[in-house]
Chains A and B, each alone.
Chain A
Amino acid sequence: MGSTGEGLGRRDLIKRSAALGLITVPTMSFLSACASGGEENSTKGPAKAPVTKENPFGVAKGGKLDVVVFKGGFGDDYAKAWEAAFDKKWGTTSSHLGTQEITAKLQPRFNAGNPPDVVDDSGAQQIKLDVLAKGDQLADLTAVLDSPSLDDPTKKVRDTLVEGAYEQGLQGGKFVVLKYVYAVFGFWYSGKLFKEKGWAPPKTWDEFLAVCAKAKEAGIGGLAHQGKFPYYINVVIMDLIAKKGGLDAMKAIDNLEPNAFEGNPAALAAVEAVYEVVEKGLLMPGTNGLTHTESQTAWNQYKAAFIPSGSWLENEQLKQTPEDFDMKFLPMPLLADSKLPFEAIRAGVDEPFIVPEKAANKAAGFEFLRSMLSREWSTIFAQQANSLTVVKDGVDPSVKLRPGTQSAVEALKAAGSNTFSYRYPDWYSEMDTEIQNASNELMAQRIQPKEWIKRAQAAVDKAAKDPNAKNNKRA
């Protein structure tokens, strides 16, 4: 815990960096060379068992299963538990590799045509998914989606997934990636601190400011944020815009409309609300210059009441969190006249699992993914990795989770279908960066909300000239 690799991995949970750009070109030619090569091996592997309702992919008993997982912020204990369960059920012998060096370990195997059966292709050294897809290295997982769910055989697996899991697993129109982790975004606070001080979790922005003010009186900071990475404070600004202006306000930004920020009263109100925190001196002193670990640790030491983050926060801070901290999730408090209810939250998927097209035991790989999407395995993940999965209501209510994860589960339940998610950070990195810069200036009180709006709109207008802007439209 706490190594740089993990820190980065967690921070970029939603937007994994494209740091592999340098080697994708050579990779590309290797992969295409490989794809055009030997198809003669496709019949190898264990004999297939007859396909039944319980065994939709015809997994042969007593075969082998080869699993490689990214051993990052979630560790790899969850995968070991899964493999044990799988071996027990299917009589397979599974081999396990947990590593951060996905590319180094797997590229030769992909090139040689003997990839593993299941891969969690994640982290800073992930093999780019679009590269694998273009080299025809990824098995089409549609069969998994259409197989019966383990929990309820009358339902298809695809109907048990949360919103967004399907769309974000598509490459060139084919579902080839199962993004397994579900993250919700909002504020976090210490249940213990709030109980001690007698503060109620705020539902409106005014109540939020009031708690921050009380915190300041008590000698601690109100809001902490990961100042060195304005990504996090942007979550606050953008979510306030989405909740006040409704989904249309969010889509206007993703679709780069000329009035996405400028002339949008919801946007100005949101930025002014955040600026009020700064103006009233309710920020934790120095938070503007801190990294994510520094600010989150300060918050764990009760130096601030709130911090914005995604639901990976609890696992990320596991070592720094006091035993009785009682971490709690809070949906973004509402501004006056908001279109979305208080319960609405931003939610996104990540942590891509794949089955290689040339896997020796593809049937077992598919069955493994189907099992991952069962409530039993999803609960294992939630317990071992302290994070939610893309399985709808995928955690058994009788199971005791860590408090932060538990409160995120409850918040998701309360949100129901009121979840939303921005796309622009994935679509337009440059615009995202420019807005982040503006937010940093805003938090340091070097620019005013109106100037922020101007800069954000300029970033949008610039992105609208991007050739991709034609293809990236959401309805």
Chain B
Amino acid sequence: MSQVAQRKGRAGFITGFLFAPLALYLTFVIWPYVQTFGYSFTNWSGQSPTFDFVGMDNYATLLSDEVFRGALWHNLLLLVFVPLVTILLALFFAFMVNAGGRGGAGGVQGVGGSRFYKVVYFFPQVLSLAILSVLFGAIYRSDEGGLLNGFLTKIGVIDAAHPVEWLNEPNLVLWCLLLVVVWHGVGFYLVLFSAAMQSVPKDIYEAALLDGAGRAQTFFKVTLPLLWDSVQTSAVYLGIAAMDMFVLVSTMTSGQFGGGPDHHSEVMSTVLMRNFLYFGKSGYACAMGVVMLALTMILSVITLRATRRERIEF
């Protein structure tokens, strides 16, 4: 057998294996996207197989939909704060448990008990979002039975007759949710950054120490630049999470699929689901889906571009 034929045979073999996953991917991932795109030009109700073609109407309505615009704004706020706060905290903790200890005779090490912290910080990550919403539901509960309210009443900060209705306060609700996401995410990114830090050769740190660098300098001049790839990836992941937020908002806040009080915690996915399943405006909801997809893709590209830096080899 000639080498060319052999190569052809191998190509066929590989194609054969690739075909099934590709077909599955096209059927279950790409095709629904195409369908959604198609439905977004109709007035499909979601409950019946008949619908009319309405052109760009749904997109025009979307432009003036205040609830959706509010939701978009909330998503953007979360998009800034979720990655920022999570990554900063995770970096700080990761640095402390890996390189934050006193550089004694043993060189670079974490603060005392750092192994214990690593495990403990990871705990929130193993909880599912459903459990998380129950847990934080009990913390934010609006009467004195809530953990926060109970505590604040005990120490006399608030009056028992006027507890803080955390998730029913227009100005607080979004931040309360943000805290849950950050609490949930920090542990995972701490472990991720820890792994990245451990792959940084110790002698770089030692050299920095010998040169008299303090903790802050070590962090900003050595650790962060060497971790940039991980940080970048984390930012994209967290950004996508911030664009979603569906489970938390829909289970923790008031309203059909959440979003309350009075749309103050609305995110795009909750508005979408409400229109899709509850209001019978599925075509309109599909238009929202298309907008969300476009935004998510644009943001991913921007994040990757904006954070692009020279790669440091080690």
Beta-carbon contact of B260 and A440 below 8 Å: yes
A288 to B262 alpha-carbon distance, docked (Å) = 13
Are A430 and B166 in touch, CB under 8 angstroms? no
Which of A17, A284, A285, A441 contacts B262 (CB under 8 A)? A441
Q: Does A21 contact B (CB under 8 A)?
A: yes
Closest to A224 in B: B143
Known: A284-B143, A285-B143, A290-B142. A227 touches B168 (CB 8 A): yes
Stretch in contact with the other chain, from A23-31, A171-179, A200-208: A23-31
Is A429 an interface residue when CB atoms closer than 8 A count as contact?
A: yes
Contact A286-B47, Cβ < 8 Å, known A17-B278, A281-B161, A298-B143: no
User: B258 — nearest CB in chain A belongs to which residue?
Assistant: A228
Is A47 close to B, CB under 8 A?
no
A residues in contact with B145, CB < 8 Å: 286, 294, 298
Q: Which B residue's beta carbon lies closest to that of A297?
A: B145
- Residues in chain B near residue A281, CB distance under 8 A: 161
Chain B, range 244-267, C-beta contacts under 8 Å to A? 254-256, 260-263
Set of chain B residues within 8 Å of A294, measured between Cβ atoms? 141, 143, 145
Chain B residues lying within 8 Å of A28, measured Cβ to Cβ, are 48-49
Cβ contact within 8 Å between A24 and B142: no
Docked-complex contact B262 and A286, CB < 8 angstroms = no
**Per-residue CB proximity of B182-220 to A under 8 Å, as 1/0?**
000000000000000000000000000000000000000
A444 with B261, Cβ < 8 A, contacts A24-B47, A290-B142, A294-B141 known? yes
Pairwise interchain contact A22-B141, C-beta atoms closer than 8 A: no
Q: Which residue of A lies closest to B160 (CB)?
A: A285
Cross-interface CB contact of B143 among A22, A287, A441, A444, cutoff 8 Å: A287
Question: How many residues of chain A get a CB closer than 8 Å to chain B's CBs?
Answer: 35
Chain A residues in 8 Å Cβ range of B49:
25, 28-29
* A18-B280 contact, Cβ under 8 Å, with A285-B162, A286-B149, A444-B168: yes
Look across to chain B and name the residue whose beta carbon is closest to the beta carbon of A32.
B49
Q: Mask for B147-178, Cβ within 8 A of A = 1, else 0?
A: 00100000000001111011110100000000
Docked CA distance A298–B256 (Å): 23
Kindly state the separation between the CA atoms of A288 and B166 in the bound complex, as whole angstroms: 10
Which chain A residue has the least Cβ–Cβ distance from B142? A289
Give the interface of A toward B (CB within 8 A).
17-19, 21-22, 24-25, 28-29, 128, 130, 227-230, 281, 284-290, 294, 298, 429-430, 433, 436-438, 440-441, 444, 446
Q: List 30 A-B contacts (CB under 8 A).
A: A17-B277, A18-B47, A18-B280, A21-B47, A21-B276, A21-B277, A24-B46, A24-B47, A227-B165, A228-B168, A228-B254, A285-B143, A285-B161, A285-B162, A286-B145, A289-B143, A289-B166, A289-B168, A290-B142, A294-B143, A298-B145, A429-B280, A433-B255, A437-B261, A438-B262, A440-B168, A440-B261, A440-B262, A441-B262, A446-B262
